[in-house]
Amino acid sequence: GKFVEIRNVSKIYHTLDGETKALDDLTFDVDKGEILVIVGPSGCGKSTILSIIAGLIKPSSGEVFINSNKIDGTNKSIGYMFQNDHLFPWRTIIENVMIGLEIQNKVNDESIERVISLLDTYGLADFKDHYPNQLSGGMRQRVALIRTLAIEPNLLLLDEPFSALDYQNRLAVSDDITNILRREKKTAIMVTHDISEAISMADKVVVLSNRPARIKSIHNIELTCN
Ligand code: ADP
Ligand code: ADP
């Protein structure tokens, strides 16, 4: 059923030199376990909609419900993954993965074991005591996702997670990340300007028009080729 509901969300930014209408009346749903990808040109409002769903900024009008609850900015079970991996260079891989749990005061034998098992499942156990600069860009993105998963979020928000990677790596890493999301049965909302990335990863694609972002079309992606 519906897990995230975006209802008539609009956003106007007020600045010294006037107003920018970033979002115009967006309505869409995300089902539980679904990967929804929002695609649109740069500057059309993709980061804005993710920030609203995360509760970081308020919409000018409209509402967002997660699991039937209106969002209020205190939802700890949302995981956020950014363009750059934001790993701390002076911390080892496992120390990086533990950060979210440290912030939430949830470091204990059980959570450490869970993190080690995640690293193991996704081929990073041998690198747990390495530093980020000893890993490839793709591996670092995997670490960033595992760090996000470590807090056991029930919703993942991914903001152009592959744009820092070169084209060749991007395809492999997006495949890899999709597999992890599917195995962990996570509901995810990703934004990208790359339509082929959207089609290859998504269960559902929301296409936005140029600024202000309006919904152009919504497509269910059926993976028919094998
Ligand atoms: P995208 O993520 O698609 O690149 P954004 O959501 O970052 O788009 O931005 C959408 C529009 O809103 C842009 O015109 C941007 O300049 C404007 N905008 C974004 N954040 C702010 C802000 N904090 N204050 C004013 N304008 C903003
Ligand atoms: P992206 O396009 O990669 O999503 P941007 O470079 O548009 O990101 O925005 C980066 C940050 O700057 C965001 O936090 C956004 O809210 C803010 N921002 C973007 N445009 C403006 C603006 N015109 N005025 C103030 N803040 C802005």
pLDDT, residue 210, reads 86
Q: ipTM score here?
A: 0.71
What ligand has the least distance to the C-alpha of 14? Answer: 1
pLDDT, residue 73, reads 64
- b/e code 34-68 from CB counts within 10 Å (16+ = b): bbbbbbbeeebbbbbbbbbbbbebebbebebebbe
Q: Is the CB of 210 under 6 A from ligand 1?
A: no
Best residue among 17, 23, 47 to mutate for probing ligand 2's pocket (most ligand atoms within 8 Å of CB) is 47
226 pLDDT above the threshold of 60: no
pLDDT, residue 69, reads 84
Task: Name the average pLDDT for the chain.
Answer: 91
Best residue among 48, 60, 158, 191 to mutate for probing ligand 1's pocket (most ligand atoms within 8 Å of CB) is 48
User: How far apart are the CA of 43 and the centre of ligand 2, in A?
Assistant: 8
Q: Whose CA is nearest to atom 9 of ligand 2?
A: 47
pLDDT, residue 223, reads 64
Strand partners, 23: 11, 213
Q: Is the CB of 47 under 6 A from ligand 1?
A: yes
Q: Is the CB of 147 under 6 A from ligand 1?
A: no
144 pLDDT above the threshold of 90: yes
Q: Is the CB of 22 under 6 A from ligand 1?
A: yes
Amino acid identity of residue 175, one-letter, is D
Q: Is the CB of 17 under 6 A from ligand 2?
A: no
What ligand has the least distance to the C-alpha of 22? Answer: 1
What ligand has the least distance to the C-alpha of 13? Answer: 1
224 pLDDT above the threshold of 70: no
pLDDT, residue 131, reads 97
Q: Is the CB of 108 under 6 A from ligand 2?
A: no
pLDDT, residue 222, reads 79
User: Looking at per-residue confidence, does 210 or 158 come out higher?
Assistant: 158
Residues 6+ apart with CB under 8 A from 106: 151
Stated pTM of the model: 0.87
Tokens linked to 69: 């609850």
Q: Is the CB of 50 under 6 A from ligand 1?
A: no
User: How far apart are the CA of 50 and the centre of ligand 1, in A?
Assistant: 11
pLDDT, residue 74, reads 65
Beta strands in the chain (DSSP E): 2-15, 18-31, 35-39, 61-66, 69-70, 78-81, 155-159, 187-192, 204-208, 215-220
What average pLDDT does the segment 129-140 reach? 94
Q: Is the CB of 44 under 6 A from ligand 1?
A: yes
pLDDT digits (tens, 9 = 90+) for 88-122: 999 999 999 999 899 989 999 999 999 999 999 99
